[in-house]
Structures are given as C-alpha cells and as structure tokens.
Amino acid sequence: MPAKGWIEVDDLHCKGCALCISACPQDVIALDMERLTPKGYHPAHLIAEGCTGCALCAIICPDAAITVYREVPVHTKKAPASA
Amino acid sequence: MVAPTTPETKVVFKRPESFTDVTTHYCPGCTHGVAHRLVAEVIDEMGLREKTIGVAPVGCSVFAYKYFNMDFVEAAHGRAPAMATGIKRVLPQKTIFTYQGDGDLASIGMAEIMHAAARGENISVIFINNAIFGMTGGQMAPTTLPGMKTTSSPFGRDVELTGFPIRMSEMLATMDGAGYIVRRSLHDAKHIRQSKKAIRMAIETQERGLGFSMVELLSSCPTNWKVAPDEALKFIAESMIPVFPLGDYKVRPELAGLRV
Amino acid sequence: MAKELLKGNEAFAEAAIRAGCEGFYGYPITPSTEFLEYMAKRMPQLGRAFVQAESEVAAINMVYGGACTGKRVMTASSSPGVSLMMEGISYIAGTEVPAVIVNVMRGGPGLGNIAPSQGDYHQMVKGGGHGDYFPIVLAPASVQEAIDYISLAFDLADKYRNIVHVIVDGNMGQMMEPAELPPMRELPKDPPSWAVTGAEGRQPNFLSSIYIDPADEEVTNIRLVKRWMEIEKNEIRYSEYLMEDAEFAVIGFGTAGRVASSAIRAAREEGVKVGLFRPITLAPFPKKQIEEISKRVKRILVVEMNTGMMLDDVAAIVQGRVPVEFYGRLGGMTPFPDEILDEIRRVADNKAPINGDARAEWISRLEKIVEEGR
C-alpha cells in the first residue's frame, strides 16, 4: 500500500512559481486559482488524493513554503516486535 | 488546508530552524531560495547556528541576512572573502561562510576570492552562478554563456568582443590552499540533494580546518532570462551544465572517506 | 619604563599592540612598510592575527570584518594605499564599527613619491569616502606623541564606534627618537553587545551599512552627525607653545608644526613675540581656540606641507579679523626651520592687508625659493 501524505503550503511564503507542480510525481498539486496570497499570488495546493509525502515538492520549493506530513501506518506502532 | 495532527502523522519536511520567518524578496521560482534553505538545513543538522557568522554579498542576495536566523554581516561588493578573512582570523573557532553571486565573486571580487583560496583561508563559500547580473536587471556577467542575450549583450554575448565565461571552480581547484571545491546544480530534486551534501562537505572541511571550501551552484534567474521558472531549470540542465560541468574539482584526501 | 631610542613605524606598531590590537591586516607600501613588517613578526608571537592582504582593498575589508567582531583591529598604509581603502572606510563608517587606520603620508597626487607630505589633509579630514560620515583625525608631531595617540585612537574608536585616522608622514615613520612605550594592556574578556560572534544564547546581531529605505538612512545620518557633535564637544586636542604673550601665531600640524617650533624659538631670540598653535585633532578641528587666537594676535601664519588645505579651514574661522598668511612646501618637500623663520620675520614686519588670496601671494614667493634652490 502506498504511503499516505499531505502537504501544507504557507501562504506567507508561496509565490506561485509552480515548480512544485512539475516536480510532483503524483500530479496532485495545482495553483489555487480561486485564492490569492497576501502578496497577490495564486498559491499551490493539493487537488486530489494520492500524495505520498515524498517531499519532492518541498525540496524544489525556492521559498521553503511547503511542510510535508506522512502518515505512519498504525500497525507498526501496535506491533513493535515486528519492527 | 489543515494537516491532520494525529499521533500517526510525522513531519517529513519543514522550514529549517536557521531560517527566519521573513518572506524572501526573490522572484518566483528563483533558486536562490533553494540555496538559502540548503545552507540553513546544513547548519541546523550540524548544530552550528549559534557559532556561525554569515557574510552577505552585494547583488540579488544582498538581503540574505534577513532570512538566516544567525549573526550576519553585509560586505562591500566582491569583498565578502576579505571580510570573512578578517572575522575568521580573530574568531578562528567560529564557522564563517560567505554567500556570493557571480557578479560579486567572479567579476568585482575576483582578487578577494582567489587570494582567500590561495591563503587556504578556513572559510566556506556558497557561490551562486546564474550566468547573469540579477539585481541590476540582467546585465552580462563573467559567467554569461556565449551567445546569451542580456541587457548589456543585447545581440547575444559575442566572444570576439566580450570574451568567454569564467569557470571559477576549475580555477580555484588549482590553489593548494583549497580543501574542497565542487560544482553542483539546483535544477531538480536529485541535484538539489547533491548540492546539500556538498554544502555539508564544505562546512565539514572548515570544521576540520582543511582550508578553503567552495560550492558553486548553478542557479536559475527566470526573470532576467525571461523564461518561466520550470523552463529556467531546463536551461540550467541543457545549456549551463555543458559549459559549467558538474563535478568535484578538489577534494582533500582527508575528506575522501567522509560520508554525509 | 624608561625612554628608549625607537624607530617611528615600529614604535607605532608596538603601541598598537600594547593598546590591545588583536588583528592587523595590511599591504606593504613605502613609507609605512616597517609597520607591517613589525606586525608580521610580533602578532604571531602573541597569538594575534596578522594578514598580508592581496591589496589595500582587501586589507581594509578584512579590517571591516575584524571590526565587526568587536576586537581592536587596524591597518597602516600610505597615501595611494589609503586611497584604495576609501571604499571600505566608508562601509566601516556606515556600519558604525570601530577601526584605527594609520596613514604615513607621502608626496602626491598619483604615484607621486615616497617623501613626507601632508597632502592627504582633505582626504583624511573631510572624509574621503562616499556618503555622510565623520572620521576622527589625530595628527601627532613626534614619535612619543604618535605612540600616545595610537592608544588614544583605539579608545576613541571604541567609545564612539567611529573610524579614527592617525596621520603622520614619512619623517615620523622613519625617524628614530627617544620615546617611552606604555605597558601592555589586558585584552577585554567579553565582546561588546553589538558584535557578531555567533548568536549563542541571544538574538542574532546583524552589522551592515545598508539602509534601503531613505527614511532609515536619514535616521542613521542623524545619529552619525549627533555623535560627531558629541565628539566635537569632548575630544578637541591641541598643543600651544609660547602662545601666552604672542602677537603672531603660527598654526601648523604634524611635522610642519614641529619644524615651525624651532623657527619660533629662533624668532623669539630676535625679539619677535610669536607662538605656535598646533592642532592635534584635525577632526574635530579646534575652531574655538583658533577663533580666540584670532582675537588677540596681530597676524596668523599657517604652515603646511601641502597647498594650504588647512589654511582654508583656519581662514573660515578667522573671518578676516586678522590677516592669515600661508607658507607651504609641496610634493614631498619638508620646509627648513630657516625658511619658516624668514616667513615669521616677514609676517611680523608686514603691515599690509592680504590682498585677495594668501595662497596666491605665497605661491609667487615659493616659486622664487624653488628657482633659487635650483
């Protein structure tokens, strides 16, 4: 089962350069054309399920605007002996 | 969107501690921001924030001091290696790095960088090569590619009249005082990871007292190249790397076994 | 400590070390080179920093970096070298960090020569670099004074976070004279709060001369000029010789002032009531004292080893109350006491007003002297 992840894009830092969009292997990021950041950019956001938390978007992001989260499967916590 | 905060969630990537919360003035898609972040990440990982002094240049990264959460000074154009020398010699236990663009380092500051390397000055230099003068609006730099159009080479750089791009890493590698000289690129995630490792190696070189270290980073300037950010990254890969080959130009043998 | 026979440049360097200089960054240039050579030997012995830079441009920027750490740092150079340093000097001034710069002046402009001169008065006293700033300028006239004022220079630099120039000329740099060095001072344990040292357990410090918003730069300029007004109030220094009953005053600094003092002794023997006023701080300039003098003497003679750079400053203070005459030698020539004695005699007998320009009258006299000399 693929890992499940999320990204959080900081409106303060995102400049809508879209480099994260082309870096995303899952094609689940797009610019939010409904919204403007305080600096007047359309920020990047997740548009679909499928983020694996691979962080390629955050690595290419020139503004350190992306925080990446990944879900750690619960069963590994419940069965530490198997780890 | 709000991220889930259940105990099962782990943060795999966030802003480094050595960064302030200030939004950079860089244009959208400019890889200066990536280079800044890599330096901050390395300083975080090595636990050096409280003993590091940065030296900012003149050029697009003139405001670098605003973005790093550590002691900083601002040098005159091209003089960052001299200023860093002045600091390092009276505070030899501190970690000193300069952050310089190609106008700063390869044009007006040529003497200062060459002699800092020749002296084996125990400082680290982050050299951003984007083949153009960014801050003044896109003039020809010593690193501008043959044929490349800039506002001061409007018909394309004519090598008959303006000469050829300068390869700093290759030149500095000839210096016996240099401990670690490499060229990396910021055009994709893989190369960014390699760039970060190189920055780590440069600081490790300094911490071990192995002499002058420099990481040259091929960087984009979408605004002055007049292309979209992702096109700019392609330009690095396709046009800059052939002129400025990536590689390790000088690695002191003491560093050979080091894995970071 | 007893007096020893000391060579100027070396004594100045040792004085700097004893005042707590922890970093010397320089580039060789005649007639200041012995200063650097002495530092090259002595600083490493003490575990302090010495760097022979690739140029004066690099040297002053090393001073700039060192100064930002709060340590006492300096450079020593000579006229053409100091010209190259002007960029860094302006940055140091704009960043408000302390630094001491010794200029062993030589004949110019351009490459000029290596003989003693005072032709850098304007460059030193009026600033020299770009932008609104005010260096303190000390002009000692003997090896002993230079030793004393190099210590003072570091104290003033620290006190006001200001640039202090100590200007001497090749005469003083090269001469040997009996003098006494002060004891070695202990180095301070803690850096000043503004210094960059690594932000350990405190908020980061940032040192720069950049104020991108003109409103912020204006506030900085106000702070700099107010600090300067404070310096003007507190730090005026000068020396007077036989001035109590003087009817004529000679005003000269450094070597020119020193040569004039021998001429004044001779003139006194001839019955001419003449005295010497020698500014030691050329910036801040002893304006009040010169104004007072202009109210009680009949005539003033300014003596310099330049074309009358200080003359203009003196004339502006005297405002025509009494005639201000001038005598100077140029291009690396040092006046002899006899020449100045002749001038004192002439000035004492001269009842005529200065018609037009003291400089114009002097140059016609000098041209004759130069002609006869050949």
On chain B, the residues whose CB falls within 8 A of the CB of A19 are 29, 229-230, 233
Q: List pLDDT tens digits, range A15-72.
A: 999 999 999 999 999 999 999 999 999 999 999 999 999 999 999 999 999 999 999 8
pLDDT number for residue A1: 65
Let me know if residue B1 belongs to a domain. no
Confidence of residue A83 (pLDDT cuts 50, 70, 90): very low
Shortest alpha-carbon distance between residue B74 and chain C (Å):
5
Let me know if residue B13 belongs to a domain. no
Chains C, A in contact, 3 or more Cβ pairs below 8 Å: no
On chain A, the residues whose CB falls within 8 A of the CB of B37 are 62, 64
Residue B190 near chain A (CB below 8 Å): no
Contact check, Cβ <8 Å, A59/B193: yes
pLDDT number for residue C32: 96
Tens-digit pLDDT profile for chain C (374 aa)?
A: 689 999 999 999 999 999 999 999 999 999 999 999 999 999 999 999 999 999 999 999 999 999 999 999 999 999 999 999 999 999 999 999 999 999 999 999 999 999 999 999 999 999 999 999 999 999 999 999 999 999 999 999 999 999 999 999 989 999 999 999 999 999 999 999 999 999 999 999 999 999 999 999 999 999 999 999 999 999 999 999 999 999 999 999 999 999 999 999 999 999 999 999 999 999 999 999 999 999 999 999 999 999 999 999 999 999 999 999 999 999 999 999 999 999 999 999 998 888 768 999 999 999 999 998 86
* Alpha helix (H) residue ranges in C184-286: 214-234, 254-269
Q: What are chain C's domains?
A: 4-234 (3.40.50.970), 238-373 (3.40.50.920)
Shortest alpha-carbon distance between residue C89 and chain B (Å):
11
Instruction: Count Cβ neighbours within 10 Å for each residue of C305-336 and write b for 16 or more, e otherwise.
Output: bbbbbbbbbbbebbeeebbbbbbbbbbbbbbe
pLDDT number for residue B6: 54
Q: How far apart are CA C297 and CA C250, in angstroms?
A: 10
Q: How far apart are CA C166 and CA C157, in angstroms?
A: 11
Shortest alpha-carbon distance between residue C53 and chain B (Å):
8
Q: Domain locations in chain A?
A: 5-82
3-state secondary structure labels for all residues of chain B: CCCCCCCCEEEEECCCCCECCCCCCCCCCCCHHHHHHHHHHHHHHHCCHHHEEEEECCCHHHHHHHHECCEEEECCCCCHHHHHHHHHHHCCCCEEEEEEEHHHHHHHCHHHHHHHHHCCCCCEEEEEECCCECCCCCECCCCCCCCCCECCECCCCCHHHHCCCCCHHHHHCCCCCEEEEEEEECCCHHHHHHHHHHHHHHHHHHHCCCCEEEEEEECCCHHHHCCCHHHHHHHHHHHHHHHCCCEEEEECHHHCCCCC
Average pLDDT, chain B: 96
A with B: how many residue pairs have Cβ under 8 Å apart?
Answer: 100
Contact check, Cβ <8 Å, B9/A59: no
Look up the CATH number of the domain holding residue B54: 3.40.50.970
Residue A2 near chain B (CB below 8 Å): no
pLDDT number for residue C357: 87
On chain C, the residues whose CB falls within 8 A of the CB of B51 are 198, 200
| Alpha-carbon torsion (B4, B7, B13, B14), positive or negative | positive
B256, with CB counted inside 10 A (0-12, 13-18, 19+), is: exposed
Task: Determine which of A4, A59, A75, A78 to mutate to test the interface with B (most B C-beta atoms within 10 Å).
Answer: A59
pLDDT number for residue A79: 46
Let me know if residue B26 belongs to a domain. no
Of B53, B73, B112, the CB nearest to C198: B53
On chain C, the residues whose CB falls within 8 A of the CB of B109 are none
Q: How far apart are CA B26 and CA B221, in angstroms?
A: 10
Please list, in sequence order, all residues whose beta carbon lies within 8 angstroms of the beta carbon of residue B89, skipping any fewer than 6 positions away.
C23, C25, C49, C51, C62, C66
Shortest alpha-carbon distance between residue A18 and chain B (Å):
8
Of A19, A59, A71, the CB nearest to B229: A19
Q: How far apart are CA B40 and CA B18, in angstroms?
A: 5
Q: List pLDDT tens digits, range A45-57.
A: 999 999 999 999 9
Structural domain range at position B110: 32-255
CATH code, residues A5-82: 3.30.70.20
Shortest alpha-carbon distance between residue C75 and chain B (Å):
11
Cα nearest neighbour of C210 on chain B: B74
Q: What angle do CA C21, C8, C175 make, to 5 degrees?
A: 175
